[in-house]
């Protein structure tokens, strides 16, 4: 006999470094030994029609976290697409897309609306 699963799901337990914002792109480069270069990022932003106001790089456990402040305000789905186009980890963006769709389809509390697209400073 199968045991019934609980209705809750445990996610990653970690300290949040940066939360989602419609004017900030967050992406994670796990395979990068060196930090992502600025010129290719600027080129990709130009191709998708966005202009950067600022960049911030920080070292993560497996690579780099990059934050990009942009002039435009994007929807959740546009944010996911832009982050993926810039080279963010595909698994991360797949999960972000899942959360973006849930935000649109379900009534989500304000607490979670600001936590759908985050970068962790470190996992516990």
In this prediction, residues 4-20 reach a mean pLDDT of: 50
- The pLDDT, as a whole number, for residue 121 is 61
Q: β-pairing, 52-59 with 24-29?
A: unpaired
Topology annotation, domain 23-116: Alpha-Beta Plaits (3.30.70)
- The pLDDT, as a whole number, for residue 122 is 46
3-state helix, strand, coil in the chain (%, to 5): 35, 25, 40
Report domain extents, the chain. Answer: 23-116
pTM for the full predicted model: 0.78
- The pLDDT, as a whole number, for residue 12 is 53
Cα dihedral 52, 54, 59, 62, rounded to 10, equals: -10
Q: State which of 43-52, 54-63, 97-106 shows the largest mean pLDDT.
A: 43-52
Which pLDDT band holds residue 32 (cuts at 50, 70, 90)? low
Which pLDDT band holds residue 114 (cuts at 50, 70, 90)? confident
């Amino acid at each position: 006999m199968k045991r019934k699963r609980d209705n809750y799901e445990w996610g990653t337990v970690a300290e949040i470094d940066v939360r989602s914002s419609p004017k900030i792109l967050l992406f994670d480069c796990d395979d990068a030994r060196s930090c992502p270069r600025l010129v290719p990022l600027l080129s990709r932003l130009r191709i998708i029609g966005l202009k950067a106001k600022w960049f911030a790089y920080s070292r993560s456990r497996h690579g780099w976290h990059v934050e990009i402040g942009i002039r435009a305000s994007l929807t959740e789905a546009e944010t996911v697409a832009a982050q993926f186009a810039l080279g963010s980890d595909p698994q991360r963006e797949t999960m972000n897309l899942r959360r973006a769709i849930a935000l649109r389809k379900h009534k989500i509390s304000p607490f979670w609306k600001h936590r759908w697209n985050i970068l962790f400073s470190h996992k516990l």
